[in-house]
Amino acid sequence: MKPNTKQWLLGTLLIAATQVSVAEEVSLKWRYQEAESMNLVKGQASLSYDAGTDSVNDSRIEKSLFAIELGSALTASLKDFAETCKVEPIIEPPIRPLGVPRGLPILPPGPVPVPQPDKECVRKRAAVADKLLASVASLQQKLDASREIQDQKLYEVLDLGRSLVKNMREYKDRPIFKFNEGIMRSLAAGPAGVGGGLNVTAGGAQDFGYFRKLVTDGEVPHFESLTMEGFLSEFDLSLTPQACDALICVQPGLKVDTATKKAFLQIGMNSNVQKANFHRKPLNLSIVLDISGSMSATDNTEKSRLDWAKDAIAKTIAELNEQDVLSIVLFDTNSEVLVPAANVTDKAALLEKVNALKTKGSTNLEAGLVDGYEQLSERALDLQGYESRLILISDAGLNTGVTDEAAVLKQITDYANEGIGLTAIGLGLNFNQKFVHGITQSRGGNYLFVHSGKDMFRYFESFDFLVTPVAYNFKVALEFPGAKLVKAYGVPQNADAPVQELINVQTLFFSEAGGAIVLEYDLN
């Protein structure tokens, strides 16, 4: 055989070898503890794919990937913007609480230096804005061209991105405060439900309202104010419906992209429980309400935050029955038990007390928590088969009384271990990332960030889901041969935590919300 013939044959064999399909399999194993029975449930699923061919086993994953691309573009632009001009923090308190007009002085008396950007800084910021605008335009074209990812909410976020571009171009430096660097982290949901059953989500915030509020107000938010977990929960990112015959069903969706050597695995969760036949357990409930002066803010709605909170409590009272036990605790500078723990028998008397509430004082959140937990703890041992839960409604952080976050988190954890869960509802809260993560990582804990009292009321329309854990200690182990996990989107974790193959969520709740958990892999 001639040399060139040998070379031709060898080349042909090599090409053929690269075109041979390689059958691979992704496997998932999960377990969780049922909240009601405390039974341990295990399950597993597998998904075959061709490692040498582009493939998508469920076209609905494309919408999740688009949402991730959009959220990543926004976050990257905020990080780039923050890096253009470094300004040292100069004071501890927050810049301006949400709802406080810009004209009102909130800084200590005396001049406060506000460094102004130089020309090079202005040029760099303009470049960041231009890059974001180009990304938004490209994503708009992709959204217009694809039927799989059509969603009006995605168009609204693209408009929000254009508003952020405008804010970046018009940005004027203001004092930067250390407290504001720890903006809350939205620990959010698993995907919307499939198969007609209810959705199953991880405990945590249900939207990215803080980021949206700041952009609407003309600000350029700190990049920690926009997290992928909270962002994804804005959209219905469910996979194609499949039958589910268990309390929790786990459904994988996979996309393989050989050009980029990437694979994306979406983990969907749903339930065989239907909304029509869902019934919550009787409640041992304590509502701990902030009535401090800042709760008089309206957030450009028709009522104050306190009035919206009173409406939400009134709706809660309407949902309760004589089996349920309710206590109501108020806090401002001090704490007061407005309604001691008792069965709900006279709703009119309860509503009369709630409707008479007025704002006053500052915010001693820790004192309110102490009284609320005491009301619950006194009755918890006698109420077998009850869900014991504290609902905290506040628009400020730990700024009066005990302000040690570690001490407050220990209190929350200790009571969680006794079976008392916490639902924290923050209106414009500047809780930092560590504190919010601590709440949502406590057993039975969930956190809702809302940018107005009106938005808060929307969640109380699904009150039974808000206060009902479905499962605890949900763990998913993944095996993906020939692939390396590089990023996890929508998985509750600290920002600086390493990416792990084991997904671990403390508490799952029923929900009608959206969201997604998506894992990004590099293919070897």
CA distances from 421 to 320, 373, 418, 429 (A): 18, 10, 9, 20
Under DSSP, is residue 433 helix (H, G, I), strand (E, B) or coil? helix
Indicate if the pLDDT at residue 75 is higher than 80: yes
From CA 379, how far away is CA 382, in angstroms rounded?
Answer: 6
Q: How far apart are CA 375 and CA 351, in angstroms?
A: 19
Could you tell me if residue 315 is inside a domain? Answer: yes
Note the pLDDT of residue 73.
96
Is residue 7 very low, low, confident or very high in pLDDT (cuts 50, 70, 90)?
low
Which pairing describes strands 420-427 and 446-450: parallel, antiparallel, or unpaired? parallel
Per residue in 26-60, pLDDT (tens digit) is 899 999 999 888 899 999 988 888 878 898 989 99
Question: Does some domain include residue 31?
Answer: no
What CATH number does the domain containing 325 carry? 3.40.50.410
Q: Phi, psi at residue 100, to the nearest 5°?
A: -95, 120
Answer yes or no: is pLDDT of 353 > 80.
Answer: yes
In the predicted structure, residue 523 carries a pLDDT above the cut 70: yes
Q: Could you give the 3-state DSSP secondary structure of residue 413?
A: helix
When mean pLDDT is compared across 2-6, 274-278, 319-323, 391-395, the lowest value belongs to 2-6
The distance in angstroms from the start CA to the end CA of the chain is 36
pLDDT > 50? residue 98: no
Q: 83 to each of 77, 80, 124, 165, how far by Cα in Å? A: 10, 5, 9, 16
Looking at the chain, the whole-number percentage of residues with pLDDT higher than 90 is 31
**pLDDT category, 513, cuts 50, 70, 90?**
low
The pLDDT of residue 321: 93
Phi and psi, residue 469, nearest 5° = -65, 140
Tell me whether residue 456 is in a domain.
Answer: yes
In a domain, residue 101? The reply is no
Strand pairing category for 502-511 and 199-202: antiparallel
* pLDDT of residue 16 exceeding 60: no
Q: Is the pLDDT of residue 514 over 70?
A: no
Q: Give whichever of 195-204, 253-262, 389-398, 475-484 has the largest mean pLDDT.
A: 253-262
pLDDT of 467 reads 81
Burial class (CB in 10 A: 0-12, 13-18, 19+), 211: buried
Pairing relationship of beta strands 325-331 and 283-290 according to DSSP bridges: parallel
pLDDT digits (tens, 9 = 90+) for 228-278: 877 887 788 888 878 888 888 888 899 999 999 999 999 888 888 887 778
318 assigned to some structural domain: yes
Q: Is pLDDT at 167 greater than 90 in this prediction?
A: yes
Asked whether the predicted pLDDT for residue 298 surpasses 60, the reply is: yes
Evaluate if residue 211 carries a pLDDT over 60. yes
46's CB contacts (< 8 A; 6+ apart) are 25, 26, 27, 28
Average pLDDT over residues 452-464: 71
pLDDT for 213: 76
Q: Is the pLDDT of residue 169 over 60?
A: yes
Q: In a 3-state reduction of DSSP, which class is residue 31? A: strand
pLDDT value of residue 473: 85
Assigned domain for 400 exists = yes
In a domain, 198, yes or no: no
Q: How many structural domains does the chain have?
A: 1
* Mean pLDDT estimate for the chain: 79
Least confident residue range of 17-31, 92-106, 460-474, 486-500: 92-106
Give, in order, the Cα–Cα distances in Å from 14 to each of 6, 17, 159, 259, 288.
Answer: 12, 5, 50, 19, 70
Which of residues 321 and 491 earns the better pLDDT score?
321
Asked if the model's pLDDT at residue 91 lies above 80, the reply is no
Whether 212 is in a domain gets the answer no
pLDDT exceeds 70 at position 65: yes
**Range(s) of the domain holding residue 436:** 281-467
Task: State the pLDDT at residue 164.
Answer: 96
**In 119-272, which residue ranges form alpha helices assigned H by DSSP?**
119-145, 152-169, 209-216, 228-232
Name the more confident of 284 and 186: 284
Q: Note the pLDDT of residue 155.
A: 95
How far, in Å, CA of 352 to CA of 354, rounded? 6
Element (H, E) at 14: helix 3-19
Residue located via tokens 């490209």: 138
